[in-house]
């Protein structure tokens, strides 16, 4: 079913042939497994059947997609192919003549755009750490880095491939990928918010760094499902999308999890059950289910992403039926439950000290929080005031026990300061705060615990799941 741009139409699970009780069962399984979901959107026949955001995440927030960014990048390549700017069989050396070494190494006489798209540059492992330390231009460094095998012969998930594709788009168009996509993809799909982190030399990361809403992630899946067509417009060439949704190279020898062993297309993973997916670290997914005419989009902070997919297959696939189902009360109960979802809150409520407590972290060398200098905790009726001093500036959060407090926390090594805080005294002498970075999957944990016998309380900082270096 081809749908028109702007906001996706809404329906109910039953009207679209999806059992609402199965979706509720999936939510039960997520809770029982302790998985940290942040959003879920289920589409069928081009309409939203069910959607929910786990507080403090919300529908209007843009999210760091990690490697789902790669699939948006692939759409940019496909659009450029359709405009005649390049072809998938083009040699990379011909597209980036100023970045390749001379004389031309043998591997660059073979490396084509399709190899970059399918993670088949011939390198047998990740190259990112190496190419960013070789010099100021990581794409030049990647092209100079001889692969272990001939291009096209082996799969290896390797950020140098999409980074080079991003540079190719910018070299051919004179625009960042995010700007190139604005009139060609984002505007037609009704994606109003899109921000892409850049490399130090000014190109979009390509392999990661794109921030859009969950609905935009769902629209990406719907675009793939529709073969690159949106409404009356063919935004991405149909043959490019069709090829990209087929395994271009096998990866069963390099991967162990079953949904990572089904092959790889154009910056798209093949899955079991005839599905394909855009896939980002910590559980960012846009899953395309062509046999069901459905898309499942989600954001999360989950380490075991195979477990996440296993729950989707076990609980959501059986929910789909060929025609409408009796609805009514079950649809309403599910909608109410989806409206009250929440990530864990600090179980606060224990009595704290009557006086303010001010401490410095025992360790400040962790990723993204090394600039936190002081923490002050002040008593409030029914809660506490948490004051963080970051790079000489103070940021205060008045947090009621069992609630989230919204605010900003600038000065960290992150371009997005929007945070929500849950905090409070959880037992005698123990104060805990979790600072949710709402534009990313991550939350920073702050803990005050009694020190050694007779000693001062100790303050520690860590991540529940540390952000990846980008």
Q: Read off the pLDDT of residues 60-98 as tens digits, 9 standing for 90 and up.
A: 999 999 999 999 999 999 999 999 999 999 999 999 999
Nearest to 418 by CA among 426, 427, 429, 409: 409
Nearest to 53 by CA among 433, 404, 314, 316: 404
Banded model confidence at residue 187, pLDDT cuts 50, 70, 90? very high
Given a contact cutoff of 8 angstroms between Cβ atoms, the answer to whether 122 and 105 are in contact is no
Torsion sign over Cα 242, 276, 264, 177: positive
Q: pTM of this prediction?
A: 0.96
Q: Read off the pLDDT of residues 161-182 as tens digits, 9 standing for 90 and up.
A: 999 999 999 999 999 999 999 9
Copy the structure tokens of residue 122: 């011939």
Residue 364 scores a pLDDT above 70: no
Residue 368 scores a pLDDT above 70: no
What's residue 3's pLDDT? 42
Establish if 363 belongs to a structural domain. Answer: yes
Buried b (16+ CB within 10 A) or exposed e, 1-35: eebebeebeebbbbbbbbbbebbbbbbebbeeeeb
Given a contact cutoff of 8 angstroms between Cβ atoms, the answer to whether 299 and 38 are in contact is yes
Establish if 344 belongs to a structural domain. Answer: no
Establish if 38 belongs to a structural domain. Answer: no
Copy the structure tokens of residue 323: 């025609």
Establish if 421 belongs to a structural domain. Answer: yes
What's residue 72's pLDDT? 98
CATH number, position 434: 2.40.128.20
Q: Read off the pLDDT of residues 12-64 as tens digits, 9 standing for 90 and up.
A: 999 999 999 999 999 999 999 999 999 999 999 999 999 999 999 999 999 99
Establish if 399 belongs to a structural domain. Answer: yes
Residue 357 scores a pLDDT above 80: yes
Q: Read off the pLDDT of residues 196-208 as tens digits, 9 standing for 90 and up.
A: 999 999 999 999 9
What's residue 1's pLDDT? 42
Establish if 382 belongs to a structural domain. Answer: yes
How many structural domains comprise the chain? 1
Banded model confidence at residue 369, pLDDT cuts 50, 70, 90? low
Establish if 427 belongs to a structural domain. Answer: yes
Establish if 456 belongs to a structural domain. Answer: yes
| List of E strands, 229-371 | 229-230, 233-234, 269-270, 276-280, 284-289, 294-301, 357-359
Domain that residue 459 falls in: 357-463
**What's the maximum distance between 2 C-alpha atoms anywhere in the chain?**
74
Q: CB within 8 A of 331, min separation 6: which ones?
A: 12, 13, 14, 20
Nearest to 450 by CA among 420, 419, 426, 415: 426
Burial of residue 317, with CB atoms counted within 10 A of its CB: 0-12 exposed, 13-18 middle, 19 or more buried: middle
What's residue 327's pLDDT? 80
Q: Read off the pLDDT of residues 315-347 as tens digits, 9 standing for 90 and up.
A: 999 999 999 999 889 999 999 999 999 999 999
């Amino acid at each position: 079913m081809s749908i028109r741009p702007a906001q996706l139409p809404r329906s109910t699970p039953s009207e679209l042939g999806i059992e609402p009780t199965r979706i509720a069962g999936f939510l039960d399984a997520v809770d029982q497994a302790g998985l940290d979901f942040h959003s879920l959107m289920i589409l069928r026949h081009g309409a939203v059947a069910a959607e929910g955001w786990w507080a403090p995440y919300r529908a209007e927030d843009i999210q760091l997609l990690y490697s789902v960014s790669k699939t948006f990048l692939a759409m940019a390549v496909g659009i450029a192919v359709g405009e005649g700017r390049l072809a998938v069989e083009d040699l990379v050396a011909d597209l980036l003549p100023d970045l390749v070494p001379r004389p031309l190494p043998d591997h660059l006489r073979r490396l084509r755009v399709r190899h970059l798209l399918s993670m088949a540059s011939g390198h047998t492992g990740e190259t990112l750490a190496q190419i960013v330390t070789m010099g100021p231009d990581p794409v030049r460094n990647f092209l100079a880095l001889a692969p272990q095998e001939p291009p096209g012969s082996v799969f290896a998930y390797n950020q140098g491939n999409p980074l080079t594709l991003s540079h190719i788009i910018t070299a051919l168009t004179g625009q960042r990928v995010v700007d190139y996509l604005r009139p060609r993809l984002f505007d037609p799909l009704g994606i109003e918010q899109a921000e892409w982190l850049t490399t130090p030399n000014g190109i979009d990361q390509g392999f990661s760094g794109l921030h859009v809403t969950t609905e935009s992630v769902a629209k990406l899946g719907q675009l793939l499902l529709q073969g690159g067509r949106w409404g009356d417009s063919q935004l991405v060439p149909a043959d490019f999308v069709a090829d990209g949704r087929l395994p271009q190279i096998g990866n069963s020898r390099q991967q162990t999890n079953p949904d990572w062993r089904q092959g790889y297309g154009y910056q798209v993973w093949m899955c079991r059950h005839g599905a394909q997916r855009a896939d980002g670290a910590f559980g960012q997914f846009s899953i395309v289910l062509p046999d069901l005419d459905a898309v499942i989009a989600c954001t999360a902070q989950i380490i075991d992403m195979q477990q996440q997919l296993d729950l989707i297959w076990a609980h959501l696939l059986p929910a789909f039926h060929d025609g409408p189902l009796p609805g009514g009360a079950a649809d309403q109960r599910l909608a109410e439950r989806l409206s009250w979802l929440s990530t864990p809150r600090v179980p606060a409520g224990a009595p704290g000290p009557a006086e303010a407590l001010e401490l410095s972290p025992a360790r400040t060398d962790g990723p993204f929080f090394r600039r936190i200098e002081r923490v002050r905790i002040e008593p409030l009726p029914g809660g506490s005031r948490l004051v963080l001093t970051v790079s000489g500036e103070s940021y205060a959060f008045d947090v009621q026990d069992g609630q989230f407090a919204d605010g900003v926390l600038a000065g960290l090594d992150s371009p997005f300061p929007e945070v929500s805080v849950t905090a409070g005294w959880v037992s005698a002498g123990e104060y805990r705060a979790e600072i949710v970075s709402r534009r990313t999957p991550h939350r920073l944990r702050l803990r005050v615990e009694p020190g050694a016998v007779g000693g001062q309380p100790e303050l520690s900082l860590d991540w529940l799941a540390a952000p990846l270096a980008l």
